Structure 1
Amino acid sequence: MKQKQGHDEITIIKRRSKKGHEEAHSGAWKVAFADFTLAMMALFMVLWLVQAMKVEQEAELRKSVGSPIWEGGAGIFDGSSPLIVEPVSAPPPVALTEAEYERSIDSTQHLGQASLAELKDLAVLMNDMAVEVGAETNLQVEVVPQGLRILVKDDQDRFMFQRGSANLTEHFHGLLTRLASVLGRVDNKLIISGHTDATPYRSNAGYNNWNLSGDRALRARNVLVDAGLPAHSILQVTAQADGVLLLPEQPESGANRRIELLLLTTHAETLYRDLFGERSAQVHFSEQGADYRSSAPETL
């Protein structure tokens, strides 16, 4: 802006201050940064809570499935070095109330010769029974093509048999007794097999793991029969020693010590009888030579 004063000209320059704009801009970024910081704190808090809940849930899951089995150094069948073995078992079902359990028992009073589908229902009943007696870590039930496979095994606190013997402990005696009541609901035949780990039996009297596994299987058979399971329901009692290990990569692990019950389907029983029974094809040897006799019925 120019003003004239006489002959002289005076130039006046006015500069507009931007202080207010700068102050407003400066305050806005501070507010935005504060909001961002608060959001990040909230995010970290949520992540921390989620992680804490995840750790707690995993701990509860491990507790429900069963703690690891600590093997080694406790008895003559334990390995030479300690090792941790995760139990081979499925997560246990939700425990039933006493009334619900009794109703489930009543609903399967007798199934006769159960089909594979009915054996699946029986597996659920067995798992419920195991929860009732506090033995969910000692019983593993699975459906296989041949029928129902039932594993009775140790856990970290309880052993099925006293070390080096066929003396059944009280907890497992009760478990087999209750199991007999469930097995008695069907007419399917049963095969019982005893299993040990691969640690040699320390005896010079000729008694070995074959004898031990057979004696233990026979002991389990006697308890089931004494508890009311018909003797004719048991088709075979067999010794397996360490021939069929649950953990082949850890042959001396205590997880391999168990009693297995195989509840056969009708088809599996027929195959068994064809293999071992009189209907199987046989070769008879005599001075006249070999005489092959077929299992097929003669036709007229």
Structure 2
Amino acid sequence: MSMRGKGKGGAEHEIIVKRRSKKGHDEAHGGAWKVAFADFTLAMMALFMVLWIVQPRLELTNPAFGNEDSNPLVDGGAGVFDGTSTSPLELDGVPIRQAQAEPPREREADSAEDGSRRYGSSAELQALAALMKDVAKEVDALANLEVEVVPQGLRILIKDDRERFMFERGSAVLDPHFRTLLARLAAVLAKVDNKLIISGHTDATAYRSAGGYDNWNLSGDRALRARNVLVASGLPAAAVLQVTAQADVMPLKPDEPQSGVNRRVEILLLTDSAEGLYRELFGDSYQQVRFSQEGARYRSGS
């Protein structure tokens, strides 16, 4: 803007007035803050993208990630006390290691140091039965021997035939033919590590003497006599767990209780499971009744 005026002496001169526009504070900074904010937003988006991509990989590589059933830190999760946790915990800097499974135990050898062998499988028992039949055949006693594989082990049945009785009638006197058979069986059983139960059986014909000797006594004496012959012929005494009297309560022919077929001596060769059951029934672990002046009370064996 220009204007004219007079100075001293009447001379005119031109006055120029310049007006400058006053810029605002916003115009001084311009749009730089918008660029910074855009950069920040882009960086955050990039961070979220990275986290979104990494998340599935964590779930794949860490079995305990996000799984309540296997995460020991989640209430109700398995693995803290049962040893199944896949990630150890640290308490005061001491790691809790996972429970290590016990190494598989080596299978017990079938043969003992003394050369005896323990039979367990059905095939092994069948082979032992065939061996006993061969032994009976050698002494012409095949008609007096029956061998059968049963769930409890091997059932060896020694019985009369039409021509020969194992014991004299009404006594425990053993016939020489059956003594030979028992001696040959003892040679086989001496090499067997399984335990034995020997039982005596009679028919239902009543046997009574003046002293009260009956079929129970007779069957028990016959079983004990067979046991003594076996032991004298080489069977270890510790191989026999029990000698029992059965009288006529376990006939082979229930419909013919007085038949001579029911007279016999049985040897039961026990499997490991059957022996274990026997020891539970008759060993220290069963409950016993103790009688005293205060009365009867049960005591559980250790």
- Which of the five TM-score ranges fits, normalised by the shorter chain? 0.5 to 0.7
Secondary structure at the counterpart of residue 137 of structure 1: helix
Post-superposition offset of 1:172 = 0.3
Q: Distance in 1 between matches of 2:286 and 2:118?
A: 23
2:219 to 213, 219, 230: 213
Secondary structure at the counterpart of residue 241 of structure 1: coil
Post-superposition offset of 1:294 = 6.2
Secondary structure at the counterpart of residue 115 of structure 1: coil
Structure with higher helix content: 1
> Structure 1 residues 122, 202: closer, same or farther in 2, change over 3 A?
same
Post-superposition offset of 1:281 = 3.3
Q: Distance in 1 between matches of 2:166 and 2:136?
A: 15
Q: What residue identity is the alignment partner of 2:131? A: L
- Is 1:264 paired with 2:270? yes
Q: What residue identity is the alignment partner of 2:130? A: V
What is residue 297 of structure 2 aligned with on the other side?
Answer: 290
What is residue 166 of structure 1 aligned with on the other side?
Answer: 172
Secondary structure at the counterpart of residue 221 of structure 2: helix
> Structure 1 residues 198, 180: closer, same or farther in 2, change over 3 A?
same
Post-superposition offset of 1:244 = 0.3
Q: Distance in 2 between matches of 1:193 and 1:216?
A: 8
Secondary structure at the counterpart of residue 203 of structure 1: coil
What is residue 230 of structure 1 aligned with on the other side?
Answer: 236
Q: What residue identity is the alignment partner of 1:183? A: L
> Structure 1 residues 134, 291: closer, same or farther in 2, change over 3 A?
closer
What is residue 77 of structure 2 aligned with on the other side?
Answer: none
Q: Distance in 2 between matches of 1:138 and 1:273?
A: 31
> Structure 1 residues 210, 128: closer, same or farther in 2, change over 3 A?
same
Alignment of 1:53-92 (within 5 A): none
1:114 to 109, 114, 119: 119
Q: For the Cα contact (< 8 Å) 2:251–2:257, is it kept in 1?
A: yes
Post-superposition offset of 1:289 = 6.7
Q: Distance in 2 between matches of 1:156 and 1:145?
A: 30
What is residue 186 of structure 2 aligned with on the other side?
Answer: 180
Q: What residue identity is the alignment partner of 2:300? A: R
Post-superposition offset of 1:282 = 3.6
User: Sequence identity of aligned pairs in percent?
Assistant: 64
Secondary structure at the counterpart of residue 198 of structure 2: strand
Q: Distance in 2 between matches of 1:163 and 1:282?
A: 39
What is residue 205 of structure 2 aligned with on the other side?
Answer: 199
Alignment of 1:2-41 (within 5 A): none
Q: Normalized against structure 1, the TM-score is what? A: 0.59
Q: Provide, for residues 40-82 of structure 1, a one-character-per-residue CA deviation record: whole Å limited to 9, x for no partner.
A: xxxxxxxxxxxxxxxxxxxxxxxxxxxxxxxxxxxxxxxxxxx
1:255 to 258, 261, 266: 261
- Is 1:125 paired with 2:131? yes
Unaligned runs of at least 5 residues, structure 1: 1-108, 296-300
Q: For the Cα contact (< 8 Å) 2:170–2:218, is it kept in 1?
A: yes
What is residue 39 of structure 1 aligned with on the other side?
Answer: none
> Structure 1 residues 208, 122: closer, same or farther in 2, change over 3 A?
same
1:239 to 232, 237, 245: 245
What is residue 76 of structure 2 aligned with on the other side?
Answer: none
What is residue 284 of structure 2 aligned with on the other side?
Answer: 278
Q: For the Cα contact (< 8 Å) 2:199–2:243, is it kept in 1?
A: yes
> Structure 1 residues 172, 283: closer, same or farther in 2, change over 3 A?
same
What is residue 71 of structure 2 aligned with on the other side?
Answer: none
> Structure 1 residues 200, 288: closer, same or farther in 2, change over 3 A?
closer
Q: Distance in 2 between matches of 1:264 and 1:280?
A: 20
Post-superposition offset of 1:249 = 0.4
Secondary structure at the counterpart of residue 290 of structure 1: strand
Post-superposition offset of 1:182 = 0.9
Q: Provide, for residues 256-284 of structure 1, a one-character-per-residue CA deviation record: whole Å limited to 9, x for no partner.
A: 00000000001101110111100223454
Q: Distance in 1 between matches of 2:241 and 2:297?
A: 30
Q: Normalized against structure 2, the TM-score is what? A: 0.59
Q: What residue identity is the alignment partner of 1:225? A: V
Q: What residue identity is the alignment partner of 1:113? A: R
Q: Distance in 2 between matches of 1:233 and 1:192?
A: 11
Q: What residue identity is the alignment partner of 1:235? A: L
Q: Distance in 2 between matches of 1:253 and 1:278?
A: 39
Q: Distance in 1 between matches of 2:274 and 2:175?
A: 32
